[in-house]
Structure 1
Amino acid sequence: MSEQTATHEPAQRPQPPALRDNRDFRLLWAGAGISFIGSRISVIAYPMLVLAHTGSAGDAGVVAFCANLPYVLQLLAGGVIDRLDRRRLMMACDIGRLAAVGSLVAALLAGHFWLAHVATVAFVESGLTILYRISERAAVRHLVRPEDLSRALSRNEARERAAGLLGQPLGSLLFGLVRWAPFLCTALSNVVSLFTLLVIKREFGAERASKPSGGLKGFFTELRVGLVWAWSQPFVRVLAGLIAGTNMLFAGLSLALQYIVREQGGSDGQVGFTIGLIFALSGVGGTLGALTASWWMRKVSLPAVVIGCNVAWALLMPQVAYVRDTLALGALFAGMGYAGALWNVAAAVYQQKVTPDEMQGRLLSVATLVAYGTVPLGALAGGLLLDHFGATWTVLGLGGAMCLLALTAVASPSVRRLNLS
């Protein structure tokens, strides 16, 4: 199959309505958005709960490890998504998350706290959220017209950026009121998501030409086929390398920012407010980038979007080495967030267009693994560099590496030939 091959829905399936009149897409967009806010609320609340009960950073680290462990297993998740009905799978995820988080709410209301219980709930909720998110992303192109796909994905990216902006401060606020409140809010978000899935009428996937082969052997054979197909696409290989590299660099840059702010002095509250303000401005930039992504993709070519975003990062990142004003730092991070959202939408549109429907889950799981797999390495390397060289030289080093990635994007024949026609 060539790089530009795309699958089409069966001819007898009616065309979805225009995006402004698309009831099913609006329901999925809203339900998934509320679900994502709920998951962001619980993510910030888990370590707060552990620290409040045990006072141990080590215990909080165990729970954080359990919450992140499902990312390592998501290749298997992609295979599951491609073999099952996506809407039913998302509904099962909502029910599973509701049961897991609901059990934690019940325990806390009864005055009980068990570290193993919290770690298990964090693992289950995170794993089911990954399944839900990849299934939802794979379903979008079946709910909208092909000409509306870029706008739909832009709205999805804006929704996820907004969920991050709302979820973490809301989780902190709710925890300050009563310890079980964040988890109750997460459980209620799963109820809302489940309801929206129940009332959506359109199917979430095309009918497969043949049923998937049964047994573990068939399952792992399909995984291998999906990985081989992904690796055979030149742009997918370049895209994977660029995503892995940039996410690793931004993990180091995020740590460097916290180091820079703390070096400037002030109380813990002042430091926290400053860092929170900068990341909030970054989130605003990302939301604006997502909302304008479809406009950019109508005005300029896809190679120009991909190359332009990488060049923008290469220009903005090194400036963090010398800028110390809070609002100026926020402006730099807002610019990088804007480019990041635009890049995410462009990559998502390309992936949706060229990936056969029966491989959507596997390719999305690979993309998510690549996107998040290098983050711990970036944070670890950033910490070591900061200890040995300080903030200025560390950020300049990260900026130099970003310049190399931007040059890779400029020089790549696969990127320059990229088109969706």
Structure 2
Amino acid sequence: MSAPAATQEPARRPQPPALRGNRDFKLLWAGAGFSFIGSRISIIAYPMLVLAYSGSASDAGLVGFCANLPYVLQLVAGGLVDRLDRRRLMIACDIGRLAATGSLVAALAFGHFWLAQVAAVAFTESSLTILYRISERAAVRHVVRATDLPAALSGNEARERAAGLLGQPVGSLLFALLRWAPLVCTLAANAVSLVMLLLIRARMQGDRAATRSGGFVKELWAGIAWAWRQPFVRVLAGLIAGTNMLFAGLSLALQYIVRHGGGSDGEVGFTIGLIFTLSGVGGTLGALTAKWWMKRASLSAVVIGCNVAWAVLMPQVAYARGPVTLGALFAGMGYAGALWNVAAAVYQMKVTPEEMQGRVLSVATLVAYGTVPFGSLAGGFLLDHFGPRTTVLGLGGAMCLLALTAAASPSVRRLQTA
């Protein structure tokens, strides 16, 4: 599908330099990379903290619910991204995350653990991370040339996968040394992100004064209405909503399996770190090869193929033994997820008008990730009542149904990335 006229950049806009020599894109790319590493470190630390202090999967699921709840509440974030200066908004997000995470580090350092505080910090940090991510994604098209957009978005996806590759194992290994050490690393990562944002000179949005439609709520509804008419939201995000809910439960099940397999904090942290390292390698390879796949396969083929791959791999986690086998399964699922994300991001960027980038991103992410907190909550309940094997097999069965739905959907078969 070709981009509508509304998505074309104004002729007066100065042409950014080529990607290789684009200083501002490199700063944005690297700063967001540190930000995402910090987020990955903390997101793995929260359930490990809860399981270590209370041993309750339900408590860990509750914290996971709070960490993912902002996905349900993010429509306002999209409206803010379309109204406010994106660079200043991202700076404010980094400062807020520094304050929230710092409060939890201080409490743990003095020997205090409060479940309510962990849940509140997880919610706050996740909210600001989502706002930061929407701002950064909406800003990319203003920092790079239009012809460089697919390569830039592939690089961004590889960066996020690399952040997972580094962040989750580092968080697990740091936890093995000291329970609040991962959060100190998150503080440092957010500080570096803040410095890099301060060095960027390029504008991260066009002139949007003429696009104001007479009120914040009215603008939000306009973005929702436009997005709902697009296959990107109705089809892709709907399928992703189901898969992300299942993966939220699967991730918690993995930690539960490793924790109840015996061993010290150090052994548990090392095992989880190794599994997530292998998963991150798979995701990074998927992102790096996404451009190759996009030249040779339609978006519909990518969507159906990824769902089938997940349906095959997910149930095998119930019977896998050892961190290498588990890591290989998660690497395969990560590869498919990265490929899906790049193709969907290029499609969304091409069809969405500039004045609606933030709102459409927030709507798409809301639909895609709004089910994640419920996946964490349900995963904790199922693990406590039915055990890990039955829970994982149930998740795998649901994934098979989603794969069949994708393969049978006429709307999916009509999707194109071009």
TM-score by length of 2: 0.84
Report how far residue 92 of structure 1 moved. 2.0
State whether structure 2 residue 204 is matched by structure 1 residue 204: yes
Q: CA separation in 1, counterparts of 2:219 and 2:307? A: 33
Among 333, 336, 353, the residue aligned to 1:336: 333
Q: CA separation in 2, counterparts of 1:119 and 1:35? A: 20
**How has the CA–CA distance of structure 1 residues 381 and 65 changed in structure 2, closer, same or farther, with 3 Å as cutoff?**
closer
Q: Is the 8 A contact 1:318 1:396 kept in 2?
A: yes
Cα distance per residue 1:361-395 (max 9 Å; x no partner): 12222232233322243345556666777666654
Q: Counterpart in 2 of 1:11?
A: 11
Q: Counterpart in 2 of 1:22?
A: 22
Q: Is the 8 A contact 1:4 1:420 kept in 2?
A: no
Q: CA separation in 2, counterparts of 1:257 and 1:363? A: 33
Q: Counterpart of 1:210 in 2: which secondary structure?
A: helix
RMSD: 3.5
Amino acid at match of 2:369: Y
Q: Counterpart in 2 of 1:241?
A: 238
Task: For structure 2, list consecutive stretches of 5 or more residues without a partner in the other structure.
Answer: none
Name whichever of 385-394 and 96-105 sits farther off. 385-394
Q: Is the 8 A contact 2:282 2:335 kept in 1?
A: yes
Report how far residue 48 of structure 1 moved. 6.6
Amino acid at match of 2:136: E
Report how far residue 118 of structure 1 moved. 6.0
Among 311, 314, 324, the residue aligned to 2:311: 314
Q: Counterpart in 1 of 2:132?
A: 132
Q: Counterpart in 2 of 1:31?
A: 31
Q: Counterpart in 2 of 1:370?
A: 367
Q: Is the 8 A contact 1:306 1:346 kept in 2?
A: no
Query: Aligned residues: percent identity?
Result: 77
Q: Counterpart in 2 of 1:223?
A: 220
Report how far residue 299 of structure 1 moved. 2.6
Q: Counterpart in 1 of 2:94?
A: 94
Q: CA separation in 2, counterparts of 1:329 and 1:179? A: 24
Q: CA separation in 2, counterparts of 1:310 and 1:227? A: 26
Amino acid at match of 2:191: V
Aligned residues: 414
Q: Counterpart of 1:73 in 2: which secondary structure?
A: coil
Equivalences for 1:375-386 in 2 at 5 Å?
Answer: 375-382=372-379
Amino acid at match of 1:20: R
Amino acid at match of 2:336: A
Q: CA separation in 2, counterparts of 1:374 and 1:203? A: 34
Q: CA separation in 2, counterparts of 1:384 and 1:355? A: 39
Report how far residue 406 of structure 1 moved. 2.2
**How has the CA–CA distance of structure 1 residues 213 and 232 changed in structure 2, closer, same or farther, with 3 Å as cutoff?**
closer
Q: Counterpart in 2 of 1:406?
A: 403
**How has the CA–CA distance of structure 1 residues 219 and 335 changed in structure 2, closer, same or farther, with 3 Å as cutoff?**
same
Task: For structure 1, list consecutive stretches of 5 or more residues without a partner in the other structure.
Answer: none
Q: CA separation in 1, counterparts of 2:329 and 2:61? A: 31
Q: Is the 8 A contact 2:317 2:329 kept in 1?
A: yes
Cα distance per residue 1:126-158 (max 9 Å; x no partner): 322221111001111222222322221122122
Q: CA separation in 2, counterparts of 1:326 and 1:179? A: 22
Q: Counterpart in 2 of 1:194?
A: 194
**How has the CA–CA distance of structure 1 residues 38 and 384 changed in structure 2, closer, same or farther, with 3 Å as cutoff?**
closer
Name whichever of 410-419 and 334-343 sits farther off. 410-419
Q: Counterpart in 2 of 1:303?
A: 300
Q: Is the 8 A contact 2:248 2:375 kept in 1?
A: yes
Q: Counterpart in 1 of 2:170?
A: 170
Equivalences for 1:24-173 in 2 at 5 Å?
Answer: 24-45=24-45, 66-102=66-102, 115=114, 121-173=121-173
**How has the CA–CA distance of structure 1 residues 107 and 320 changed in structure 2, closer, same or farther, with 3 Å as cutoff?**
closer
Amino acid at match of 1:231: W
Name whichever of 281-290 and 381-390 sits farther off. 381-390
Equivalences for 1:264-283 in 2 at 5 Å?
Answer: 266-267=262-263, 273-283=270-280
Q: CA separation in 1, counterparts of 2:296 and 2:48? A: 45
| Structure label with greater radius of gyration | 1
Q: Counterpart of 2:289 in 1: which secondary structure?
A: helix
Amino acid at match of 2:226: W
Q: CA separation in 1, counterparts of 2:259 and 2:120? A: 34
Amino acid at match of 2:31: G
Report how far residue 239 of structure 1 moved. 0.9
